[in-house]
Chain A
Amino acid sequence: MIIADRKSLEEIQDMIKEYKKILLVGCKGCVTVCNVGGAKEVGVLAATLKIARKKDGNPIEIDEKTLERQCDPEYVEQIRDIFDQYDAVVSMACGVGPQFLSEAYPSQKFFPAVNTKFFGGAVQHGIWEERCAGCGTCVIHYYDGLCPIARCSKSLQHGPCGGSAGGKCEIAKDVECIWDTIVKKKMEQGRLEDLRTLRAPKDWQTARDGGPRKSIREELVQ
């Protein structure tokens, strides 16, 4: 899923400092699962902002709404009747949400309350890690199901580099060297030959490097 972190309170306050009445919109998708932008977090942020503004002698009115998903026009429609009742709308969804909202309601102003970070999952309660770089051409079968494009700091297709030490990456002691894991697994299983292959330079056209991407499923297009 998509992992996000909430922006600092100061940054959000600064974004909305000139507004008196805002709508804070959460999303029940990924950001709910990673505890950053669901109904609960919408409630907490709204309360915090209201308290802070009241303390400053500049109270703000905030209504809360959490949509099934902000990346789906069907659900984005759910604020059609109310969107223009506010000075601005703050979205707590990933970067997709405020854009779908902006496109659906061109006359309104939208702000992001979270920083969208990566595609990953929870490795333990409260800790999420990156697993996929969305490069558009999956090659993890070459590497025993582990992705060096997303998980090696240099996206090396032939690792590990000379900075790998004790299973850790050269950039920080708390970053796993994924190549260490790949190599050990191959060696333990007697499949070292897999790592003796020279791989062609990757075709990055399917990644963001090829320009904005689109996926068309002909059978679903009406």
Chain B
Amino acid sequence: MSNNGLKSGSNLEKVLKAGHFAFTGECGPPKGANVEHLKEKFEHLRGKVDAVNVTDNQTAVVRMSSAAASAIMVANGIEPNFQMVCRDRNRLAMMADVLGVYSLGIRNMLCLSGDHQKFGNHPQSKNVYDIDSMQLIAMVKKMRDEGKFINDEDIDVPPKMFIGAAANPFADPYEFRIYRLANKIDAGADFIQTQCIYNMPRFRDFMKKAVDMGLTEKAYILAGVTPMKSARMAQYMAKMVPGMDVPEELIERLKGAGKGNQAEEGIKFAIEQIEEFKEMEGVAGVHLMAIEWEHRVPEIAERANVLPRPQVD
């Protein structure tokens, strides 16, 4: 731990430690080396969020590396939350990348298993999974707190990362999900970002369990929100995205808004959710995943009354 009592000193950590309701965003790197496009996307988020998740070949589609895109963000004065999946790299590459991104000024990282490559645009590739997300969390914690690699050799200047993990309260078997979250926190997760939430009753129940088990005392839980752009998007997510729980009533609500008004209805629902999360016991913030909708984030943040973002020294 550093002198100021912070594990990493990232802005996200400071905001959460100070007790503010955190608000994070997301930015998928381009399918190419188009730096201007990347900048255009993340500029929408400047000043509107505490950190920006940078996805790592999300849905197993090859893109500019999350490390490079995160570094570009740092260079442009925006704090990234560097995502790393276990699908594409073995432990040597992963530890090397943790050191690499830390040396480039990255201070948050999200440790994930990663979608299976079968979903992506190179289903022929080998799937690595040398370690899994639980072991990745433990690995980054060991590197930070013990200053050691997996093999126990010393690290010359350990990377001080604020360690994140994902939780999906909507995957099966539901009864085990809270224990899996507990395992990730025990392994070393400092903060959790959940899968997109649409089934509010289930999430309320999940959070109650997390509070009862004392998990919210050990890690910050950020509730995942993805505004629906249309009823069609909702239907697609309900059917095609693994581990996604989209209640029929939400689809009906979007349909009921009529053509041309569905996006607004989707944003309204997201804002209602954010308002509820602000009051929900144990929820430390919101992770807004506005997929290919970065330009709508300022408006959503404004209407959800999460602006201005706190400045914590």
Q: Are both chains from one complex?
A: yes
Q: How many A-B residue pairs have CB under 8 A?
A: 105
Interchain residue pairs A-B with the least CB separation, the first 3 = A162-B168, A170-B242, A158-B134
Could you list some 30 contacts between A and B, CB below 8 A?
A153-B118, A153-B127, A154-B113, A156-B133, A157-B132, A158-B132, A158-B135, A158-B180, A159-B132, A160-B171, A161-B133, A162-B167, A162-B171, A163-B115, A163-B242, A164-B173, A166-B172, A167-B172, A170-B116, A177-B172, A180-B172, A184-B173, A187-B175, A196-B183, A196-B186, A198-B135, A198-B183, A201-B130, A201-B139, A201-B150
Partner among A156, A170, A204 whose Cβ is within 8 Å of the Cβ of B132: A156
Closest residue of chain A to B195 (Cβ to Cβ) is A162
Closest residue of chain B to A192 (Cβ to Cβ) is B179
Q: Give the chain A neighbours of B195 by CB distance below 8 A.
A: 162
- Counting CB contacts under 8 A, is A135 at the interface? no
Q: Give the chain A neighbours of B173 by CB distance below 8 A.
A: 160, 164, 180, 183-184, 187
**Distance (Å) between the CB of A1 and the closest chain B CB?**
25
The answer to whether B118 touches A171 (Cβ under 8 A) is yes
Given contacts A154-B87, A195-B176, A196-B183, contact A204 B171 (CB under 8 A): no
**Distance (Å) between the CB of B247 and the closest chain A CB?**
15
Q: Give the chain A neighbours of B135 by CB distance below 8 A.
A: 157-158, 198-201
Given contacts A158-B134, A162-B195, contact A183 B176 (CB under 8 A): yes
A117-141 residues with Cβ-Cβ distance < 8 A to B are none
Partner among B118, B129, B139, B172 whose Cβ is within 8 Å of the Cβ of A164: B172
The docked-state distance in angstroms from the alpha carbon of A13 to that of B62 is 37
- Counting CB contacts under 8 A, is A155 at the interface? yes
B243-277 residues with Cβ-Cβ distance < 8 A to A are 243
The docked-state distance in angstroms from the alpha carbon of A68 to that of B246 is 57
**Distance (Å) between the CB of A174 and the closest chain B CB?**
13
B226-250 residues with Cβ-Cβ distance < 8 A to A are 242-243
The docked-state distance in angstroms from the alpha carbon of A198 to that of B133 is 11
Contact-residue bracket for chain A = 20 to 34
B41-63 residues with Cβ-Cβ distance < 8 A to A are none
**Distance (Å) between the CB of B87 and the closest chain A CB?**
7
Partner among A164, A184, A187, A198 whose Cβ is within 8 Å of the Cβ of B134: A198
The answer to whether A170 touches B115 (Cβ under 8 A) is yes
The answer to whether A164 touches B183 (Cβ under 8 A) is no
- Counting CB contacts under 8 A, is A165 at the interface? yes
Interface string of B151-177 (1 = CB under 8 A from A): 000000000000000111001110110
User: Could you list which residues of chain A lie within 8 angstroms of chain B, going by C-beta atoms?
Assistant: 153-167, 170-172, 177, 180, 183-184, 187, 192, 195-196, 198-202, 204
Closest residue of chain B to A155 (Cβ to Cβ) is B129
Partner among B87, B119, B129, B179 whose Cβ is within 8 Å of the Cβ of A196: B179
The docked-state distance in angstroms from the alpha carbon of A144 to that of B240 is 31
The answer to whether A161 touches B171 (Cβ under 8 A) is yes
- Counting CB contacts under 8 A, is B74 at the interface? no
- Counting CB contacts under 8 A, is B182 at the interface? yes
The docked-state distance in angstroms from the alpha carbon of A159 to that of B91 is 19
Q: Give the chain A neighbours of B138 by CB distance below 8 A.
A: 198
The answer to whether A156 touches B113 (Cβ under 8 A) is yes
**Distance (Å) between the CB of A180 and the closest chain B CB?**
6
Q: Give the chain B neighbours of A161 by CB distance below 8 A.
A: 113, 133, 171, 243
Q: Give the chain B neighbours of A177 by CB distance below 8 A.
A: 172
The docked-state distance in angstroms from the alpha carbon of A198 to that of B141 is 13
Given contacts A162-B166, A162-B243, A187-B176, contact A154 B129 (CB under 8 A): yes
Closest residue of chain A to B194 (Cβ to Cβ) is A162
The answer to whether B172 touches A160 (Cβ under 8 A) is yes
The docked-state distance in angstroms from the alpha carbon of A153 to that of B167 is 19
**Distance (Å) between the CB of B214 and the closest chain A CB?**
14
The docked-state distance in angstroms from the alpha carbon of A164 to that of B177 is 11
The docked-state distance in angstroms from the alpha carbon of A164 to that of B170 is 9
The docked-state distance in angstroms from the alpha carbon of A167 to that of B243 is 11
Q: Give the chain A neighbours of B179 by CB distance below 8 A.
A: 192, 195-196
Partner among B127, B133, B243 whose Cβ is within 8 Å of the Cβ of A170: B243
The answer to whether A171 touches B129 (Cβ under 8 A) is no
Q: Give the chain A neighbours of B114 by CB distance below 8 A.
A: 154
